[in-house]
Amino acid sequence: MKEIPRDLRGFDFAWSACSLEHLGSISAGASFVEKSLEVLRPGGLAVHTTELNCSSDVDTIDHEDCVLYRRRDLLELGARLRANGHDLRFNFYLGDLPDDRYVDLPPFKHDPHLKLRIGRFTTTSLGMIIRRGE
């Protein structure tokens, strides 16, 4: 994911699931998202999921095996993508049902497993959809 082959071009769709947070830093994952758009034809879609820090928009985990993106990190990425002519949507909805409010603690039960505790932070999955601009 850190070195996308230059001959991969012209695709309609690119996708990654819960991978960005394992590239070593918030900036490395954001860079992958930006570079993933290069494999798409204009109008192509990229869909990525990653870990969203539900506890803080200030403190987080960065430069570790698993990083946690804050809302502000993703909004900054979104601003850069829009400035380059791309369209995107984030889904920041955290849910309000009982399973949405439950936070799984280590050792994880995985039933349900919509939110979990990593270090001192509660995290969940976030989805982003990006349409490559012209």
CATH number at residue 39: 3.40.50.150
Could you tell me if residue 114 is inside a domain?
no
Cβ 100 vs Cβ 86: under 8 Å = no
What pairs with residue 128 in β-bridges?
48, 90
Mean pLDDT of the chain: 95
State which residues form the domain around 31.
11-53+61-94+123-131
Other Cβ atoms less than 10 A from the Cβ of 83: the count is 8
pTM for the structure as a whole: 0.93
pLDDT in tens, 7-60: 999 999 999 999 999 999 999 999 999 999 999 999 999 999 999 999 999 999
Could you tell me if residue 107 is inside a domain?
no
% of the chain surpassing 70 pLDDT: 100
Could you tell me if residue 73 is inside a domain?
yes
Cβ 69 vs Cβ 44: under 8 Å = no
Is the per-residue pLDDT at 1 higher than 90? Answer: no
Q: What Cα–Cα distance (Å) separates residue 64 from each residue in 25, 102, 109, 132? A: 7, 25, 24, 30
Cβ 48 vs Cβ 40: under 8 Å = no
The pLDDT value given to residue 44:
98
Structural domain count of the chain: 1
Segment 65-82 shows an average pLDDT of 98
Segment 94-110 shows an average pLDDT of 92
Q: At what angle do helices 26-36 and 71-83 cross, to 10 degrees?
A: 30
